[in-house]
Amino acid sequence: MANEIKMETRLAQAGSRGDPRTGALTMPIYQTASFAHPELGRSTGFDYSRTANPTRLALETTLAEIEGGDRAFAFGSGLAAIDAVLRLFAPGDKIVVTEDLYGGTFRLFAQVARPIGIEPVFVDTSDTDLVARTLSDSSVKGLFVESPTNPLLKVADLGALAELCRARGVRFIVDNTFLTPYLQQPLAWGADLTVYSATKYLAGHNDVVAGAVVTSTSELSGLIGFYQNAVGAILGPMDAWLTLRGLKTLPLRLRYQQESARQIAEWLREHPRIDRVYYPGFGGMISFDVHDPERVEAILKGVNVFLFAESLGGVESLITYPLVQTHADMDPELLVRLGIGNRLLRLSIGIEHPDDLISDLEALL
């Protein structure tokens, strides 16, 4: 964070000083399309809500501040945010991309970017030497990294990757959805842009679909701001307000979720019917392979505390079957090579008591 104030403090008051006229403690929901001009050629700073809306701006300002970014931009979904970043590249460019990333992002690169001439090169970005070799191709103009990855929770060395990118003039983009700025600050490590599915931990209540881009320079802000306005894949004021409301409790939620996830990962590691646990030691996401794939259906059907649903990062704990839900659009070959198989389940740990979550799994294993 750019200033000394702690993130908990900044977030507790997110949007709290946004309406000096009334002093309202929460940001008003500006459910308006347009803004009257005081006179011709004079604007209040707001003309049309696609271009800028005060409620969305309060969210965008908060996101930029907690990450020490130049500016932030809120979009209709995480994929709409990633699409805006894709538009920085031109036909003929290559982008090196984390191979085991969210299935929707994979689909965007493979089925939207590739047909317009932007070639994704999927590699294991937790292997810094491999990334360095891949970046030596001069047509590579971008590096897009998820860390930890989805669903295998592999961790990349962001500082080392940023250095490689800087040396080669490659744009470095980090999808920071899983950890949020509260646990990881990619811009401070030297990333040019961070992207978020704000649907997840940032909003945190499984009640909004939203996305965001945070930029490191005013040049990038100019470009992303132009695309946000020109394409118009914006976030509506109600959803911006709910995201802002969710952000107030981000540190509380994430601390508790991480603590529970550590306990549950420990417990899973000891369990005889679990073959492998994927947990990097931080964050609220855990993936694991059950020994017997036949049990998967019974687990998904039998959970009482966990909800069987896709998505993650909310106050409710979710259990997901990546092979058929989040990663259904990935190349079958890649799924096999990565180990995303019929035994893999993913947990998003919520804020229920960890003992109840463990009992729920224990009864089914």
Partner 1 sequence: MKSETQVVHAGRDRDPYTGASSIPIYQTSTFAQPDPAHPGPYDYSRSGNPTREALEQALAELEGGAVGLAFASGMAAISSVFMLFKPGDHIVVTHDVYGGTYRALTTLFARWRLDHTFVDMTQPTLVRAAIRPETVALFVETPANPLLQITDLRVMAAIAAEHQILAMVDNTFLTPYLQKPIAFGFDIVMHSVTKFLGGHSDLVAGAVVTRDDDWGCRLKAVQNTFGAILGPQDAWLTLRGIKTLAARMEAQQRTAARVAEWLVDHPRVKQVYFPGLPSHPGREINESQAAGPGAIVSFELVDRPTTLNLLKRVELSLVAVSLGGCESILSYPVMMSHAGIPRPERLARGITDELVRLSVGLEAAEDLIADLEKALND
* Interface contacts to partner 1, rule CB under 8 A: 31-37, 39-41, 47-50, 53, 75-80, 83, 87, 90-91, 104, 107-108, 111-112, 115-117, 199, 203, 206-209, 211, 227, 230-236, 238-239, 242, 296-297, 300-301, 307-311, 314, 318, 321, 324-325
- Closer to partner 1 by CB, 51 or 263: give it: 51
The SS3 assignment for 196 reads strand
Residue 50 annotated in active site = yes
Minimum distance, C-beta of residue 161 to partner 1, in the bound complex (Å):
26
Minimum distance, C-beta of residue 230 to partner 1, in the bound complex (Å):
6
Cα dihedral sign, 75-76-77-82: negative
- Closer to partner 1 by CB, 168 or 205: give it: 205
Q: How many residues does the chain have?
A: 365
Minimum distance, C-beta of residue 265 to partner 1, in the bound complex (Å):
23
Tokens matching residue 65: 């501040």
Q: Which of 56, 71, 100, 102 is catalytic?
A: 102
Q: Which of 50, 255, 276, 295 is catalytic?
A: 50
- Closer to partner 1 by CB, 26 or 32: give it: 32
Q: Which of 94, 141, 171, 200 is catalytic?
A: 200
Residue 200 annotated in active site = yes
Q: How far is CA 192 from the centre of its chain?
A: 16
Supply angle C-alpha 70, 141, 180, rounded to 5. Answer: 40
Give the bridge partners for 289, in sequence order: 276, 344
> Exposed, middle or buried by CB within 10 Å (0-12, 13-18, 19+), for 117?
exposed
- C-beta of residue 265 within 8 angstroms of C-beta of residue 277: yes
Tokens matching residue 276: 């492998």
Minimum distance, C-beta of residue 296 to partner 1, in the bound complex (Å):
7
- Closer to partner 1 by CB, 34 or 218: give it: 34
Minimum distance, C-beta of residue 3 to partner 1, in the bound complex (Å):
32
Which of 159, 161, 110, 109 lies closest to 133 in space, CA to CA? 161
Q: Which of 100, 175, 239, 360 is catalytic?
A: 175
Residue 102 annotated in active site = yes
Residue 175 annotated in active site = yes
Q: Compute the distance between CA of residue 328 and CA of residue 349 in angstroms, rounded to an integer.
A: 22
Q: Which residues are catalytic?
A: 50, 102, 175, 200
